[in-house]
Amino acid sequence: MIYSKIYSGKFKNLTLLALVSILAVSCAKETVETLPNTNILTSSADYSKVLTFSGSTSSSTGDIYEVLPGPAVINTAMSPTPFSDKIKMTSGSYNLIVSDNVDIDSESSTDVVSSVNIEFTANNGKKFKIDKINVIHKPDGAGDHTFFGGVGLNKVMHGNSGIGTELMPKMLAYMTLWGLVDLKDAETDEVVAANRVIHVMVASRVRDKNLAMIPEVENDMSNHDTWMAETHVILIPFDMQGNMSPVPGTDHGFIHMMWENVNLTEATRDWKQVYEILPGPAAVNVAMSPTPFSDRVAFGTGSYSFNVVDDSEDDSEISTDLVKDVNIKYQRPNGEMFVIKNIDIIHKAPGTGDHSYFGGVGVNKTMHGNTGIGTGLMPKMLSYVTFWGIADLEDGNGNVIASNRLVHVMTASRARTSDLKLITDVETDNTDHSSDKYETHIILPPLDVNGNQSPVPGTGHGFLHLMFENVTLTGN
Secondary structure class of 143 (helix, strand, coil): coil
Q: How many Å apart are CA 112 and CA 100, to the nearest integer?
A: 7
Q: How many Å apart are CA 409 and CA 369, to the nearest integer?
A: 17
Q: ∠ CA 470-345-476 to the nearest 5 degrees? A: 50
Instruction: List C-alpha distances in Å: 381 to 34, 358, 412, 428.
Output: 11, 16, 7, 8
Q: How many Å apart are CA 55 and CA 465, to the nearest integer?
A: 28
Q: Which of 108, 240, 106, 127 is nearest to 179 (CA)?
A: 240
Chain centroid to Cα 181, Å, comes to 32
Q: Which residues contact 116 (CB under 8 A, 6 or more apart)?
A: 95, 96, 130, 131, 132, 133
Instruction: List C-alpha distances in Å: 154 to 7, 52, 161, 331.
Output: 36, 7, 14, 12
CB neighbour class for 409 (10 Å; exposed up to 12, middle 13-18, buried from 19): buried
Q: What length is written for the chain?
A: 476
Secondary structure class of 282 (helix, strand, coil): coil
Q: Which of 238, 233, 231 is nearest to 197 (CA)?
A: 238
Q: How many Å apart are CA 412 and CA 43, to the nearest integer?
A: 11
Pairing of strands 191-203, 230-235: antiparallel
Q: ∠ CA 121-124-130 to the nearest 5 degrees? A: 40
Averaged over successive runs of 10 residues, the pLDDT of the chain (476 residues) comes to 32 34 31 62 96 94 95 97 97 97 97 98 95 97 95 98 97 98 97 97 96 96 96 94 92 96 97 98 96 97 97 95 98 97 96 91 97 96 97 97 96 97 97 97 89 92 97 91
Q: Is 37 left (phi over 0), alpha (psi -120 to 50) or beta?
A: beta
Q: Look up residue 301 and give its DSSP letter.
A: E
Q: How many Å apart are CA 384 and CA 410, to the nearest integer?
A: 7
Pairing of strands 274-277, 151-157: unpaired
Q: Which residues contact 125 (CB under 8 A, 6 or more apart)?
A: none
Q: What is the pLDDT of residue 29?
A: 33
Q: Which residues contact 189 (CB under 8 A, 6 or more apart)?
A: none
